[in-house]
Amino acid sequence: MIETRGIDPCAAFISSHLPFAGGSGMRTEGAVHRAVTISRQTGCGALVVAEKLAHYLQGHSRNAALWTVFDRNLMDKVLEEHNLPACLARFLPEDRVSEIENFLDEVFEVHPPAETIIRQIAETMLGLAALGNVILIGRGGNVITARLPNVLHVRLVAPFEKRVEHAHQYYSMTRTEAQKFCLTEDHGRARYLKKYFNADIDDPLLYHLIINTGQMDYNAAAKLIGEAVLHPE
């Protein structure tokens, strides 16, 4: 079963940053607080790597603020901040782009266009990245935060068979289901980035690091990213 995270990690993240935040939500101290975006091929172990990365950074960072991963729980934060109906969450992942408009047509007489929803997602991601100590998975985070100098952009890739095996084990799918899942999710993510950001998800120039988790285990990948975050120069 695919894990769905709740709002609690978001609340913990925001609370841990309150001593550093001013009225605008930005930190008032002089130090730069880093953030990470992770783009991924399906089945690369992105969530596992992100959680290991958060643990690594928490143990090696000088500031005490909590490092938090935002994946599916990001959608809860977006819905909360912009007063959107909770049932919209199932249409917000990257593989549901074409379904957003249809759903909104059914729910609202005069509905916000899908572009408005995407902009609200982007606003939430920018706010979290500006706070720092956050790892944002997917949803064009690397494009949305491209102009923020404190953000490191990572792309995770792996051979298709290894990704299928990961999906089979991690999500308790049959191998046939895992194959279809990987292909469908990858197509949806590429379409999402192209439709709303006019970007090619496979463009290597969008990332600081591209890591093959078929050749590097998750612990090593997390450490490599962590060192790039902690020692950017």
The 3-state DSSP class for residue 211 equals: strand
> Under CATH, what is the fold of the domain 34-72+133-230?
Rossmann fold (3.40.50)
State how far the Cα of 96 lies from the Cα of 103, in Å rounded to an integer.
10
Q: What pLDDT sits at residue 216?
A: 96
Would you state the structure tokens that stand for residue 89, as one six-digit string?
């969450």
Q: What pLDDT sits at residue 61?
A: 79
State how far the Cα of 42 lies from the Cα of 47, in Å rounded to an integer.
11
Q: What pLDDT sits at residue 23?
A: 35
Q: What pLDDT sits at residue 8?
A: 46
Q: Where are the domains of the chain?
A: 34-72+133-230
Q: What pLDDT sits at residue 71?
A: 84
State how far the Cα of 6 lies from the Cα of 72, in Å rounded to an integer.
8
Q: What pLDDT sits at residue 55?
A: 95
Would you state the structure tokens that stand for residue 183, as one six-digit string?
């292909």
Q: What pLDDT sits at residue 233?
A: 74
Report pTM: 0.76
Contact 19, 27 (CB under 8 A): no
- Where do we find the tokens 């120039």? 205
**pLDDT by residue for the chain (233 residues), tens digit each?**
333 343 344 444 444 444 443 333 334 344 568 999 999 999 999 999 999 999 999 988 777 678 989 887 665 565 565 555 555 555 455 555 455 555 555 555 445 566 777 888 888 889 889 989 999 999 899 999 999 999 999 999 999 999 999 999 988 899 999 999 999 999 999 998 998 899 999 999 999 999 999 999 999 999 999 999 998 87
